[in-house]
């Protein structure tokens, strides 16, 4: 791995723990974290994907500013989830999901050193639907393998709730007493983009787990750091070319879960910034 990438990844982790150290007691603080992380991901990714003729300062500033705008969209999407939790109106969920998708798309474009409008994507469980506005509205469908593996696991452990899945725009599973939840006594659990709920759980639990699925997607801009290595491998390997046509590798799963585990180890479950944010936007 190039030294520059090592250095930038260290900056990312330091920035994450700096932002996660914010008190997270009100909307301003949560907004600052989402905007800040969007900016950091956008700025670092833009530098990694910088063209030789582009200046470092301008590229970093553009990537950070664009990523911050995407982070604000993400923040507003989470506020819509909170309105769902409080007002118990399911018609907030799809608007929230679309705003969240727009925010993450803007962050991804920033991290890939693209203009904010060039590509937009929507994740439906492990399915990624992408529209390339710059290339005559080209539509691309791919599968996210890590998200697929978690969905496949839940298919073996619980019953698919088709109605809730349609309402939430992702796969939702339920059981009366799921063994996975019974161990911790919780009412729900998000596994990347899929959700497991104890039968009879209410809107606050649903909102809490929706926020966790958003947190997984919020790191999707990190995947762009592999764009250039992936392109080189495509030129050398037919297998890689075929793989990349079918799959969009969601490396953000490794980052988000790694950070979650590390924070839990350091701060404990309840003080983990992921859990604090999920509580804030579901209560």
Q: For residue 60, what pLDDT is reported?
A: 94
Alpha carbon distance, N-terminus to C-terminus of the chain:
43
Q: How many CA atoms lie within 13 A of 41 on its CB side?
A: 31
pLDDT of residue 186: 81
Q: At 171, give phi and psi (nearest 5°).
A: -80, 125
Q: What angle do CA 173, 177, 183 make, to 5 degrees?
A: 100
Total of domains in the chain = 1
pTM for the predicted model, two decimal places = 0.91
The whole-number pLDDT of residue 1 equals: 44
Q: How far apart (Å, rounded) are the C-alpha atoms in residues 69 and 92?
A: 22
* Contacts by 263-266, CB closer than 8 A, 24 or more apart: 263/20
Per-residue pLDDT of the chain (283 residues; tens, 9 = 90+): 455 555 555 555 555 555 555 556 799 999 999 999 999 999 999 999 999 999 999 999 999 999 999 999 999 999 999 999 999 999 999 999 999 999 999 999 999 999 999 999 999 999 999 999 999 899 999 999 999 999 999 999 899 999 999 999 999 999 866 677 765 568 899 999 999 998 888 999 999 999 999 999 999 999 999 999 999 999 999 999 999 999 999 999 999 999 999 999 998 988 899 999 999 999 9
- Which strands sit side by side in the sheet containing 127-132, from one edge to the other? 119-124, 127-132, 138-143
How many alpha carbons lie under 13 Å from residue 85 in its C-beta half-sphere?
21
Q: Beta strands 188-191 and 172-175: pairing type?
A: unpaired
Residues 6+ positions from 148 with CB-CB distance below 8 Å:
126
Query: By the 8 A CB rule, do 185 and 194 touch?
Result: no
User: How many CB atoms neighbour CB 63 within 10 A?
Assistant: 30
Residues spanned by the domain of 17: 3-280
């Amino acid at each position: 791995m190039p030294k520059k990438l090592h250095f930038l990844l260290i900056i990312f982790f330091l920035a994450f723990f700096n932002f996660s150290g914010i008190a997270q007691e009100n909307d301003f603080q949560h907004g600052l974290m989402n905007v800040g992380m969007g900016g950091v991901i956008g700025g670092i990714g833009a530098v990694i994907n910088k063209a030789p003729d582009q200046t470092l300062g301008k590229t970093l500033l553009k990537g950070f500013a664009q990523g911050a705008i995407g982070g604000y969209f993400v923040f507003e999407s989470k506020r819509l989830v909170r309105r769902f939790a409080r007002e118990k109106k399911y018609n907030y969920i799809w608007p929230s999901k679309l705003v969240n998708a727009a925010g993450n798309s803007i962050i991804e474009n920033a991290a890939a050193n693209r203009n904010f409008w060039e590509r937009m994507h929507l994740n439906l469980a492990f399915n990624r639907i992408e529209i390339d506005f710059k290339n005559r509205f080209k539509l691309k469908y791919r599968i996210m393998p890590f998200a697929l593996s978690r969905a496949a696991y839940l298919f073996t452990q619980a019953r698919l709730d088709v109605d809730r899945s349609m309402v939430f725009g992702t796969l939702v599973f339920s059981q009366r007493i799921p063994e996975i939840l019974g161990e911790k006594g919780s009412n729900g659990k998000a596994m990347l983009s899929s959700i497991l709920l104890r039968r009879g759980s209410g809107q606050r639990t649903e909102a809490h787990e929706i926020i966790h699925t958003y947190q997984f997607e919020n790191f999707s801009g990190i995947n762009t750091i592999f764009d250039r290595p992936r392109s080189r491998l495509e030129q050398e390997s037919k297998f890689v070319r075929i793989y990349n046509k079918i799959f969009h590798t969601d490396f953000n799963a490794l980052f988000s879960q790694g950070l979650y585990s590390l924070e839990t180890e350091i701060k404990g479950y309840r003080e983990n910034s992921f859990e604090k944010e999920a509580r804030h936007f579901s209560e």
